[in-house]
Every structure is written in C-alpha cells, then in structure tokens.
Chains A and B, each alone.
Chain A
C-alpha cells in the first residue's frame, strides 16, 4: 500500500479480552491493546503461541464480546450494532480465512455449497443460475476451475483447500479479511502460491488484511505495518521495513534474532538475543509511545528517552 493518508478502517481502543473472569483461572488473553488499521493495507500481527494474536483477531470480528474497550469498524462501534441489518452488513464486510484448511471446510458439503453459503444467507443471488455463475467466478478468481464445484473437500490438496477457504471469504464481497495463519499448514512451495493470490486479490479489490502469523519472514513480505504482541500486550508497531531494520523493543529484537534464514553463512554467525519477560511486570505504567514517525513502542516515560537514543545510535 502506497497511500499513507488512507482513512482508518478499523480502530481498536483499549481492547481487553479476558476469559473466566473472576475465577481463579482467569486468563487475560488480550490486555489493553490499542491500534488502527488503514484502508487497503496489510497489518501483520506476530507473536508466540499464547501471545493473544488469535484472540485479537476473533475479538475484532466479534466472535467474542470484549471484556472492555472498543472496536470501531468504519466509524461504528462493533458491539453496538443495534439492528439486524447492521449486524448482517458487518458480517459481510468482515470475513475470516482460517489456519487449518483440513478442519475449516465441512467434509459433507460440496465445494459449491461451501462457497455459496454466504451468498445464500445474504440473498446475494437472484436465482440458481446466478448462484452457480457467482461460484464459478469465485473459483476461477482463486485459481480453481468450475469442474471443482461439484466435488467434496477431501478431493483437494491443502493448498487447494485454502483456495476454497479464500473463495468462501470473498463470496460476500468483504472489505476486511482476517487471515489467521493462513499458510502455516501448507508446504513451502504452496505457501508462495497462496501469498501471491492474497496479494493479487488485495490489488484488484482494494481489500484490507489483518494477517496473523508466526512466520516472520512471510509476515514481513506481505505486511505494510506490523504489530508485535506478547502476553496479551502490544509491544511495538511500525512499518514492516522499519520494524525489521530498527527493532526497538527487546522482545522484538529477541524474536528477530531467532528467525531461521536460508543462508548458511548468516546462520553460522547467528547470535540469539535472550528476552527477560519479567521486566514487563515491574508494575510501572506503560503505553504505546510514538518514538519516531509511525514507529510505536510500549514504554514508560523514562524509557522513551532510552528508545529514542537506541533509534538514533542504530543499536
């Protein structure tokens, strides 16, 4: 995305998503995060398992009711959609692509019915012919062909199934797609195919993506901006290149130092940076601060100076 003045399509404000609230096993999966996503961009969300990245994605499309905080999509608060029409429209505008292409398709449904489910629910087809035509178009868009429409999911490979999942998401003409680890279950040679397809669709349809993943090199490649999550908190947000060239938070540095790179010489010289998570729990107030234009780090007031210095010294 080139347009840096694009309007905000999504605003997440002080989102908290707790589970088992008030019980001894309360889980603070997402703990007070704030960030915006601009129209037409790809926002990458990275973090380890348990960091809260998937919960964030699910909270955004309102699969959970937030414990507190606001999610504002195209200017409207997602938890205050008071009419059925508004709710249906929101569900159409925001779609998801899931991680596991084997588990996310109903094995008893034909591909055409899987893809057309959203079309049926939203009454987007005039008649059966129109429905079939739309399904055929969608299958062609994602690189399958119309002969595939009458088959069942088990007849497809992992990469093809993920294409079916993408066609299903596109069927209702969404504006915003949450892709939760959409390529982690695929082989290397197939991953590139799916990523290219996602990029092509974004160009053609002006889609906005929230791309959740743990594969940092792929996230860097596909994202315009990246947010780094850890223990339910957002630690750093920056443009993709900036984040990789000038990581400021210790956790981001540790994460980047651990990415395996297909280059033996680089690997021989690799030094792993350890991260001490206990620093996050020292009881001090921290919030996301803009250290450089568009580069935010979670810091106390005192730490801001330290991060600015880091950025200037390039260390």
Chain B
C-alpha cells in the first residue's frame, strides 16, 4: 500500500464479457484508491462500467466475465483470483453491499429479523438468540419504529423506504470496513431519499466505514461524496474532491453532465445536452472514447488515448485539453460560472 489511509487499491483493472456477439470490453484500465472513512462516488451513465467495477471488488461478476488484467487489493490482500469460498468469507468479514431495488433484494419468505441476523450467524458463528438481539439493535439504529414487534414481520409488510432501511441494516450488521452502495435510493421518492441519505451519513460516522457510492444523480453525489470519480465507456475520465469536480471540472464529459442537469434556477430556452450516444464497447474507439460526442475534441483525440493530467494533488483528468500544446477553450456557461465560484472559495 502506498498510503496507510488507503483501505482498497484498484490498479489497472481490465474486465471483458464474453458474449455471442464478441468480447465486450466493459472495464478498460481503471485505477483508484479508497481511503478509510471516506465516501467515494462513482458517476457515469448506464454501461459506463460503474457497477461492473464494484461487482469485481465483491467477486460477484457473472460467469462469462474475464478478468484481463490488474489487481484489487484490500489492505495488501489480493482479491482477484480468490476462490468462491475465500471470497464468501472475505465478503462476510470486510465488505457489504446495499443494492438498488429494496423490493427485490430481500427474501420475501423470511422474517426480517432473521434476514438481518443471518450474516452474524453465518460469518461469526453467533447463536440465533444473540444474533437476533443484535438485529434488534440494528433495526433501532436505522430508524425502524416498534422494532421489537416488527422483528417477525415479512418484507411485504414494509414500505419501500422502510425496506431500504432493512437492507442497510443487513449491510451494517457485521460492521464492514467497506460498504458498496449501488444506486441505493434511485427507487425511492425524494423525501424518503433525503432521509435515507442522511441516515447513511450518520451511520458512516458511527462505525467509521468507507463507502463506494454509485449513482447517476449528481445532486445526490454533491451531498454524499468526499471524492468523485467520473466514468465513461469503461474508463475513469476525471477524479478529484467533490468541490474540485463540481466547481472546477476539467473534462468535457464532466462539463456536459453538469450543464445538462437543470438546477432550480436554470432559465435558458435550450438545455445544453450531450449529443449522440455512448460508444459500443465491443469495438471501443481508438483514442478518446468521448471524442465523437465532444465538441471540444482535438485531432489527437481520435488517434491517441489521453493520459491523466494533474490539476492538483487530488485532482486528475484524462483530456488532451490539459496538454500544454492544446488550444485554450472556453467551457459552457454553466461551467464558467462554477469555476468562478471555485476561484472565489479558494482565494478566501
């Protein structure tokens, strides 16, 4: 480990899916670190590889997955190449996932007390009674009212928001060091979403866990993340602290994402949109995968993949626009506004 604070280190990860149509290059050289106690948000559109990345950390990829290279280290322990038995033990002790859909991620035929207690009984050999006591504690912690009476209820007796609290309780019961939250609030109403996000932050402080938060909702990212990685077509194209990504973005894709979302005071007649659709990863384009949709694209973007350029110690972006030889371009209005704000907060 390069840095003692790092709990997870992903290096040069490459993952392919073998399908009838050919080899889909889903993850194309992804590297990042996760620090203890932080929330790292991974944003990107569907198909950009955010879920595949975290599934690989959990060892939960489908059977047609081919790991074409790289490493994933949890505190110096290599995860890739572990057997299913080792992985199961590893997951039970160190890492847990909160899934997107609270309607389908619970067992409909099992009482919820038992579902929350199960990880303790399996991974820590705890007795049933003791595990149920712990489950009750956890239910109170995640804000389920009348927890004692509800221990013996089934999932269908709970609302969507309450079910997601149960899913969170299951994930937290072993006090995992890493939690992967894959669109945990996308299926919920905004008012419920706000409550669940607040709860996740409070619980994170309590048990000092690290969270990898996957979402396409930049509003949620702004509220949850310490650091952000933006993914496009199987690659990370920009990463930095939440302020750096939201107020001083450098990659044209990040510009596009931020300006195509109307804020509550957007007035313009036409919403700036990103033209076109993401590339087909059966045959990833040569050079920068975003070039075809990028109005700031340079000639070199179609020839050579841009490397990461350093913006600050914590902020990197893979775009040729940051090369010394690149022409100066003016980002979209929305981004210029944000960059001004960034200068203002940094000169204070």
Contacts and interface: CB of A to CB of B under 8 A. Distances in A.
B264 A260 contact: no
Contacts of B223: 260, 264, 267-268, 270
A187 interface: yes
Interface in A194-210: 195-196, 199
B266 A221 contact: yes
B264 A259 contact: yes
B194 interface: yes
Interface string B173-198: 00000000000000001111111001
Interface centre among A187, A268, A270 (most CB of B within 10 A): A187
Contact of B275 (A48, A193, A263, A275): A193
Contacts of A264: 222-223, 242-243, 246-247
A214 B107 CA distance: 28
A220 B267 CA distance: 10
Interface in A238-285: 244, 254-255, 257-268, 270, 272, 275
B219 A188 contact: no
B196 to A, nearest CB: 11
Q: Majority SS of interface residues in chain A?
A: helix
B222 A159 contact: no
A25 to B, nearest CB: 15
A258 B190 contact: yes
Contacts of A267: 219, 222-223
Given A259-B264, A270-B223, A157 B277 contact: yes
A193 B218 CA distance: 17
Contact of A216 (B190, B220, B277): B190
A199 B269 contact: yes
Interface string B255-289: 01110111110100111111101000000000000
Contacts of B345: 265
A189 B253 CA distance: 9
B270 A261 contact: no
B217 interface: yes
Interface residues on A, range: 35 or more
Contacts of A157: 277
Contacts of B274: 189, 192-193
Contacts of B192: 48
B194 to A, nearest CB: 4
B66 interface: no
Interface string B319-348: 000000000000000000000000001000
B216 interface: yes
B261 A217 contact: yes
Contacts of A263: 222, 246, 263
A195 B270 CA distance: 9
A270 B221 CA distance: 14
B273 A262 contact: no
A218 B271 CA distance: 10
A108 to B, nearest CB: 21
Contact of B271 (A49, A221, A261, A265): A221
Contacts of A132: none
Contacts of B277: 157, 159-160, 190
A50 B110 CA distance: 26
The 7 A-B pairs with the shortest beta carbon distances in the complex, nearest first, are A260-B219, A192-B273, A267-B223, A192-B260, A187-B45, A221-B262, A258-B194
27 contacts: A48-B189, A48-B192, A49-B189, A159-B277, A188-B45, A188-B257, A192-B261, A192-B272, A193-B273, A193-B274, A196-B273, A214-B190, A217-B263, A220-B262, A254-B191, A255-B190, A258-B190, A258-B191, A258-B193, A259-B190, A259-B264, A260-B220, A263-B246, A264-B243, A264-B247, A267-B219, A272-B195
Given A217-B262, A258-B193, A261-B219, 12 more contacts: A188-B45, A188-B218, A190-B45, A216-B264, A217-B261, A220-B264, A260-B220, A260-B222, A262-B258, A264-B222, A264-B243, A265-B345
